[in-house]
Structure 1
Amino acid sequence: MTLADMIHVPLITPFGPTGQVDTESLEALAHRVLDDGATGLVALGTTAEAAALDDGERAAVTETVGRVCRARGARFTVGVGSGATGRTARELAALAALPSLPDAALVTVPSFTRPGEQGVIAHFRELAAASPVPLTVYHVSFRTGQPLGTAALRALAAIPGVTGMKYSTGAVDAEIVALLGDRPAGFEVLGGDDVFAPALLALGADGAVLASAHLATARWAELAATGDRELGHRLSALGAALFREPNPTVIKAVLHARGLIPTPYVRLPLLPAGAAARDAALDLLTALEQPRTAPARTAGAAAPAASPAEPRPAAAHLAS
């Protein structure tokens, strides 16, 4: 796949006026981002508020997203897992019964327990043996509390059935530079921090999983295809604005303001985004949608930094 084939949107879960999951709005949103250039969708990621959904709601979300992906020929990924290896293995095994078998499962490094690098490797070795689909490791160290060095990243890549990684450490660090500089054959590396994704694409990442691509999907696809440095700066600034408050609160507020979902509701412990954060993101989005007055610069790679006017968000709010 080319970079332009690898923009994944980790879909939000729209809620209706009484707080119910609105699968019709979810389906419409899924089609919209695919129309605008995304070629993959993620169900039940962090952005979906998966932890706040009951079993029936999770099943409805998964069925809806899977059906759209199959109809559109899009890549279908499902978020799976907890800190417990046995329970996660059972959840993975249950994927075989879904109406649409996912192309991959996105599985987070165990959180809170901090099992150490060897524990993480053993965890994924056990999960890969139980899974009917390939695994994408979700390395998001500022949420899990578990750092991974380059040797551990390569050990994970060597596990049969582990075919990729969503890299979300809140930085362009030495580990990702080393991994992308000598990437294991057949192992996909996807950027997962919206602020830093332009830099990872420039360094050779295979694509990205981007919550901000709910809104600037076509621009992200353009960046992946062209490496336009100026566009990378602007998308990085949008990502910073959308993560200024806990994800996905600002994204939902902007989607609602644009009339794309029925409410901006989130479930506790999240609280709705403030008007200032919503309006700042809307302003950046509107500017991104305006026609360019000069040709795109394609001679450089996209840069990671947010614009000076848009402060970088706290690390805990970065990853999609």
Structure 2
Amino acid sequence: MTSLHGLYIPLVTPFDADGAVAPAALERLAHQVLDDGATGLVALGTTGEPGSLTESEKQSVVDTAARVCRERSAPLVVGAATAEALAGLAAVPEAVAALTVVPPFVRPGEAGVLAHFARLAAASPVPLVVYDIPYRTGQYLTAGALRGLAAIPNVAGVKYAGGGINDDTVALMADPPAGFAVLGGDDTFISPLLALGAHGAILSSAHLATAQFAELIRLWQSGDAIRARALGHRLAPLSKALFAEPNPTVVKAALHAQGRIPTPGVRLPLLAAHPDSTAAALKQLAEVGG
């Protein structure tokens, strides 16, 4: 079973002036975040706008991220939610896990979710990281359901984005399942989740101030609560500003403003971030030294 920990960056998909995927820019960005302290990369996460990419574009994104991870000896996680997509990861030796979202919209109930992941995990060539994000999927999972997922062979962990810290969060972290990685996915709440014992994070915000987010994880895991708490308080407003509009619109605008991607472009149904949102995010970024 893969042991996942540290900071993973769910890479945006940069587009060029013509709206095409810009693999060279993606490659540079991937190297930059690893240089700045990220542990690994996520390709085709929600932040990468996979729903708007063609199959050939998705393959280009995965190939680019895999090449960087191979060169850097860094772990790669790939977004894959179907049996077919998971099977394709057998051809990606750099992939240590798949990020697999709880089935959205259908609300199958917790028993249905467990059965769904049991079937996918049994056939997957790589371990699964369950993406639990109920405010997008419509399906809430209790701590008991998450423990049930942890008991499924070939399920390595969860990207936990429950919308904050609640009773189920506390119950899960009070006695986390052995060998089951809890990776925070709610950017604004990452510091308190790390304080409760999360193993790491998958954070879109960490495209910016990557070194500071990596340090936040290190501080909590080393037991330096005073410095960790202070840093977490500084980073939370940055995350809030970067999520002021649908992700990854503000993140892309900020990266473009830094000259790190060729355009701030996103694809429909997303619309470009408002300049005021970009300015607010850059102001917060300056305040944390990113």
Shorter-chain TM-score above 0.5: yes
Question: For residues 46-100 of structure 1, what are the alpha-carbon distances to aligned partners after superposition, in whole Å with 9 as ceiling and x for unaligned?
Answer: 000011000000000000001111111111000011xxxxxx11221121123x3
Aligned equivalents of 2:89, 2:33: Cα separation in 1: 24
CA contact (8 A) 2:101 2:132 kept: yes
CA contact (8 A) 2:5 2:201 kept: no
Give matches, 1:19-30, under 5 Å.
19-30=19-30
Q: Which residue of 1 aligns with 2:223?
A: none
Aligned equivalents of 2:30, 2:285: Cα separation in 1: 19
Q: Secondary structure at the match of 2:95?
A: coil
* Amino acid of the structure 1 residue aligned with 2:90: A
- Give every structure 1 segment of 4 or more consecutive aligned residues whose post-TM-superposition deviation is greater than 6 Å: none
Q: Which residue of 2 aligns with 1:222?
A: 215
1:173 to 159, 166, 170: 166
Aligned equivalents of 2:161, 2:36: Cα separation in 1: 24
CA contact (8 A) 2:102 2:131 kept: yes
Aligned equivalents of 2:271, 2:201: Cα separation in 1: 27
Q: Secondary structure at the match of 2:264?
A: coil
Return the offset for 1:25: 0.2
Aligned equivalents of 2:234, 2:163: Cα separation in 1: 18
Q: Which residue of 1 aligns with 2:122?
A: 129
1:199 and 2:201 matched? no
Return the offset for 1:258: 0.6
Which residues of structure 2 form unaligned runs of 5+?
Answer: 221-227
Give matches, 1:56-205, under 5 Å.
56-81=56-81, 88-98=82-92, 100-205=93-198
Which residues of structure 1 form unaligned runs of 5+?
Answer: 82-87, 291-320
Question: For residues 264-310 of structure 1, what are the alpha-carbon distances to aligned partners after superposition, in whole Å with 9 as ceiling and x for unaligned?
Answer: 000000000001100000011011118xxxxxxxxxxxxxxxxxxxx
Question: For residues 136-174 of structure 1, what are the alpha-carbon distances to aligned partners after superposition, in whole Å with 9 as ceiling and x for unaligned?
Answer: 000000000000111111100000000100000111111
Q: Secondary structure at the match of 1:103?
A: strand
CA RMSD of aligned residues (A): 1.3
Identity in percent? 58
Give matches, 1:264-303, under 5 Å.
264-289=264-289
Aligned equivalents of 2:256, 2:144: Cα separation in 1: 43
CA contact (8 A) 1:95 1:101 kept: no
CA contact (8 A) 1:5 1:38 kept: no
* Amino acid of the structure 1 residue aligned with 2:177: P
CA contact (8 A) 2:77 2:95 kept: yes
Aligned equivalents of 1:219, 1:144: Cα separation in 2: 30
Structure 1 length normalisation: TM-score?
A: 0.86
Q: Secondary structure at the match of 2:144?
A: helix
CA contact (8 A) 2:188 2:240 kept: yes
Q: Which residue of 1 aligns with 2:6?
A: 6
Structure with the largest fraction of helix: 2
Q: Which residue of 2 aligns with 1:311?
A: none
Aligned equivalents of 1:101, 1:238: Cα separation in 2: 31
Return the offset for 1:101: 4.0
CA contact (8 A) 2:253 2:278 kept: yes
Aligned equivalents of 2:212, 2:79: Cα separation in 1: 25
Return the offset for 1:224: 1.0
Structure 2 length normalisation: TM-score?
A: 0.95
Q: Secondary structure at the match of 1:105?
A: strand
Question: For residues 14-46 of structure 1, what are the alpha-carbon distances to aligned partners after superposition, in whole Å with 9 as ceiling and x for unaligned?
Answer: 000000000000000000000000011000000
CA contact (8 A) 1:242 1:281 kept: yes
Aligned equivalents of 1:101, 1:213: Cα separation in 2: 22
CA contact (8 A) 1:104 1:135 kept: yes
* Amino acid of the structure 2 residue aligned with 1:268: L
